[in-house]
Amino acid sequence: MKQWDLRGKARQARIADGMAHAAGKIVAADKLVAFLEAVILSGDRVCLEGDNQKQADLLARALAQVDPAKIHDLHMIQSGVVLPEHLDLFDKGVARRLDFSYSGPQSARIARMLFGGKIELGAIHTYLELFARYFIDLTPQVALIAAVSADRDGNLYTGPNTEDTPTVVEATSFGNGLVIAQVGEIVDRVPRVDIPGDRVHFVVDAGKPFYVEPLFTRDPAAITETQILTAMLAIKGLYQPYGVRRLNHGIGFNTAAIELLLPTYAERLGLKGKICTHWALNPHPTLIPAIEAGWVEQIHCFGSEVGMDDYLRARSDIFFTGSDGSLRSNRAFSQTAGLYACDLFIGSTLEIDLKGHSSTITPDRIAGFGGAPNMGSDARGRRHPSAPWLQAGQEADPDTPAPLRRGRKLVVQIGETFGEANAPLFVEKLSALELAEKLSLPLAPIMVYADDTTHIITEEGIANLLLCRDKDEHEQAIRGVAGFTEVGRQRDKKMVERLRERKVIQRPEDLGIDPLDANRSLLAARSIKDLMLASGGLYRPPSRFRNW
């Protein structure tokens, strides 16, 4: 007789082994390493919750301490590789293979370890893509997750930073895997049930909150006048003519500048209620002045942001909140919302090539992707119309009859022509291609593909790639906004002028943008303190941003 419940039985055996180190579902923090050695097997697929923001830091430290003679060759599948321990696992020989999405602060070390052969790379995924694989061919045998609190039955409260947890638990727990949660405290009754206890097998009391990275805080004091100019271009040259109401902003100072110009510059243009009303967005502190001025109707969040929790609780008309009053975020749902229900994505990158591919890989840093690839791509499964989507579709393909013409998501790259340390934004060949050659990857890690990119905004102007009719026009439209980079200086000036006549390229002066307006006095908040004051004291900036 073939047995059809071997995986469930294997999980039961792991639970029995774990019980020897636990009291009920509760594992003591000082027994955690021995506990993990009992329940994890060599070769397991392990999701160590490393999200974009919150980190299961206690579990990461404990896993990095297990004996590699007992546990080795783990296959780590996690969206964020953020903590040093995430890579210590590979240095120590506990883990061998890695599938991930984002590596932010570990980007330099992960590059060295990949080049040194310490890590066997599966792939660098977009978020939704990695989540999807959790349910198909990368279902974790063990998930090590993070929550705010738990009761003794294992019901979890994830608080405002729910992020990836429901997705990870869904795949692991219903896929015969083991779910182990670290929590800040054990309570009699959790404030709300984000994860039902029957999906959670063990809980460890970390005695303090999990680590959260304040990724989405941009200090208005650091916004330059050039960035303000690019923000004016975005508002007047793109948000206004397309009437963009549903959108996502990436992180960066250019998009922070747009947020801070809504109550000033965009208000002056009469755009309130006509643009930027519905968002898939992390709770950016720089959006506070626009929210307070009544610009925003609704925001769904991927995660929370350090210091924003009280503000979000007090603005429940705008944000999704739970029965306890605090924010409920969810990365998988918000990414899906950004992909299917937003008409525009705008973000920054480090390199753009002549075709319009963009990447954040540099020769010595592999940062992976954030939310950009999913939200910065045209949703081929979309079927509902909206004015900006239809207009973009019409510009790209004027000849197809309207009822049979797909619309287009507006996918915008915004930045200055020279970035940090005078690195040019525009390049002949992406570093991502060199990386792919060096590591023999079948795919270069492209963040946003050229055929998804509809506009590029720099201080020199806006290039509307939808209006380009052939490869030459496309390349010259990019060169035409590439400023004084080598790519920009090698433009065909006559062709660029013709593109300008057709409004494929629009300069600030073509849009009636006064350079004297590119001034910091145009920002609705000029410092973190201004943001705190705008929130009525509800926003509590983390100490590293308090410079007063």
Partner 1 sequence: METLRFEFSALTPAKGVRKTALVGVVASGNLEVLLEREGAPDRCTIEINTSAHGFRPLWEAVMADFTSRRTAGGLRISINDGGARPDTVSLRLAQGVRLIEEPQA
Q: Which of 323, 422, 521, 543 binds partner 1 (CB under 8 A)?
A: 422
**Strands 26-27, 178-186: parallel, antiparallel or unpaired by DSSP?**
unpaired
Distance (Å, whole) CA 212 – CA 57: 9
**Strands 120-124, 278-280: parallel, antiparallel or unpaired by DSSP?**
unpaired
Q: What DSSP character marks residue 331?
A: H
Q: Which of 515, 536, 537, 542 binds partner 1 (CB under 8 A)?
A: 515
Smaller CB separation from partner 1, 55 or 226: 226
Q: Which of the ranges 71-79, 140-148, 223-231, 309-317 carries the binding residues for partner 1, by CB under 8 A?
A: 223-231
Q: Which of the ranges 250-258, 271-279, 386-394, 417-425 carries the binding residues for partner 1, by CB under 8 A?
A: 417-425
- Which tokens belong to 132? 């999807």
Q: Which of the ranges 32-40, 258-266, 283-291, 416-424 carries the binding residues for partner 1, by CB under 8 A?
A: 416-424
Handedness of CA 529, 535, 538, 540 (dihedral sign): negative
**By the rule CB under 8 A, 492 interacts with partner 1:** no
Q: Which of the ranges 9-17, 147-155, 222-230, 280-288 carries the binding residues for partner 1, by CB under 8 A?
A: 222-230
Q: Which of the ranges 275-283, 293-301, 444-452, 457-465 carries the binding residues for partner 1, by CB under 8 A?
A: 457-465
**By the rule CB under 8 A, 222 interacts with partner 1:** no
Scanning the structure block, which residue is given the tokens 């469930």? 8
Q: Which of 155, 173, 248, 417 binds partner 1 (CB under 8 A)?
A: 417
Q: Which of 49, 309, 459, 473 binds partner 1 (CB under 8 A)?
A: 459
Q: How far is the CB of 456 from partner 1 (least distance, A)?
A: 14
Handedness of CA 423, 426, 429, 433 (dihedral sign): positive
Query: Count of H helices and E strands in the chain?
Result: 21, 22
Q: How far is the CB of 376 from partner 1 (least distance, A)?
A: 23
Q: Which of the ranges 176-184, 219-227, 401-409, 438-446 carries the binding residues for partner 1, by CB under 8 A?
A: 219-227
**By the rule CB under 8 A, 516 interacts with partner 1:** yes
**By the rule CB under 8 A, 418 interacts with partner 1:** yes
Torsions phi, psi for 262 (to 5 deg): -60, -50
Q: Which of 509, 536, 537, 547 binds partner 1 (CB under 8 A)?
A: 509
**By the rule CB under 8 A, 414 interacts with partner 1:** no
Distance (Å, whole) CA 378 – CA 396: 13
Cα dihedral 523, 529, 534, 537, rounded to 10, equals 170
List of long-range contacts for 474-481, beta carbons under 8 Å, 24+ apart: 474/355, 474/356, 475/354, 475/355, 477/504, 477/505, 478/352, 478/354, 478/355, 478/356, 478/426, 479/354, 479/426, 480/505, 481/417, 481/456, 481/457, 481/505
Residues 518-537 that bind partner 1 (CB under 8 A): 518
Q: How far is the CB of 514 from partner 1 (least distance, A)?
A: 6
Say how many C-beta atoms besides its own lie within 10 A of residue 226's C-beta.
Answer: 18
Query: How many residues of this chain interact with partner 1, rule: CB under 8 A?
Result: 21
Smaller CB separation from partner 1, 428 or 514: 514
Distance (Å, whole) CA 332 – CA 254: 26
Sort residue 216 into left (φ over 0), alpha (ψ -120 to 50) or beta: alpha
**Beta bridge partners of residue 461, listed in sequence order:** 458
**By the rule CB under 8 A, 37 interacts with partner 1:** no
**By the rule CB under 8 A, 484 interacts with partner 1:** yes
Smaller CB separation from partner 1, 451 or 514: 514
**By the rule CB under 8 A, 514 interacts with partner 1:** yes
Q: Which of 416, 452, 473, 475 binds partner 1 (CB under 8 A)?
A: 416
Strands (E), 261-357: 278-280, 298-300, 344-347, 351-352
**By the rule CB under 8 A, 349 interacts with partner 1:** no
**By the rule CB under 8 A, 449 interacts with partner 1:** no
Q: Which of 229, 238, 258, 467 binds partner 1 (CB under 8 A)?
A: 229
Q: How far is the CB of 413 from partner 1 (least distance, A)?
A: 15
- The 3-state DSSP class for residue 120 equals strand
**By the rule CB under 8 A, 483 interacts with partner 1:** yes
Smaller CB separation from partner 1, 57 or 459: 459
Task: Look at residues 105, 98, 54 and name the one whose alpha carbon lies nearest to residue 82.
Answer: 105
Q: Which of the ranges 80-88, 94-102, 135-143, 454-462 carries the binding residues for partner 1, by CB under 8 A?
A: 454-462
CA atoms within 13 A on the CB side of 412: 31
Binding site for partner 1 (CB under 8 A): 224-226, 229, 416-418, 422, 458-460, 483-484, 489, 507-509, 514-516, 518
